[in-house]
Amino acid sequence: MENRVEKKSGISFKIVLTTLLLLIAISAGAYFGYNKFLKNSSKNSSAVSQNSSLGQTQQVSNQGGGNSSYLQQVVSDYTFDLSDFTVNLADEGGKNYLKISVFLGYDDKKLSAELTDKKPMIRDAVIDILRTKKVSDINPKYMDNIKMEIIQKINPMLEKGKLNNVYFDDILTQ
């Protein structure tokens, strides 16, 4: 009689253990499946809907390629010359500097007068951003991120329109 009770408890223990392991496996599969497939597609679709509905640059999560592809597709109707910048870079020792020409891209002609009036404030904002960079940041891989930083810092200053791109010319680091 005692032997029979042990068999029943052994079988029920195996069933409970098997069920528990099965639930853990299903949960782990669902978690990894969501993170790999669904989570990324929802981020991408929200970023696309923000960009398409507003028609302006929006802060996209800081993934390396997200900003790059957007800025390369935008061609501005008008540009505003901020002239040359020569700034010290944030590298140790303070011996490295950057010389760069910056042009702001926009589509609304009314913005030209405002950019002219606010040129000193805009130049100051660009200098603040460029001085935080190191020589290693000044390469094609990271230039679009710098452009997005500039756009995101300047757009809140503007009332008559928004920037949609930044163009660099004559980049020199030493």
Closest CA to 135 of 103, 92, 82: 92
For the cut 70, the answer to whether the pLDDT of residue 102 exceeds it is yes
pLDDT tens for 115-151 read: 999 999 999 999 999 999 999 999 888 898 999 999 9
pLDDT on residue 49: 39
Q: 10 Å Cβ neighbour count for 125?
A: 17
Asked whether 85 and 100 are in contact (CB, 8 A), the reply is: yes
**H-helix or E-strand containing 87?**
strand 78-88
pLDDT tens for 42-91 read: 444 444 434 433 444 333 333 344 444 566 777 889 999 999 999 999 98
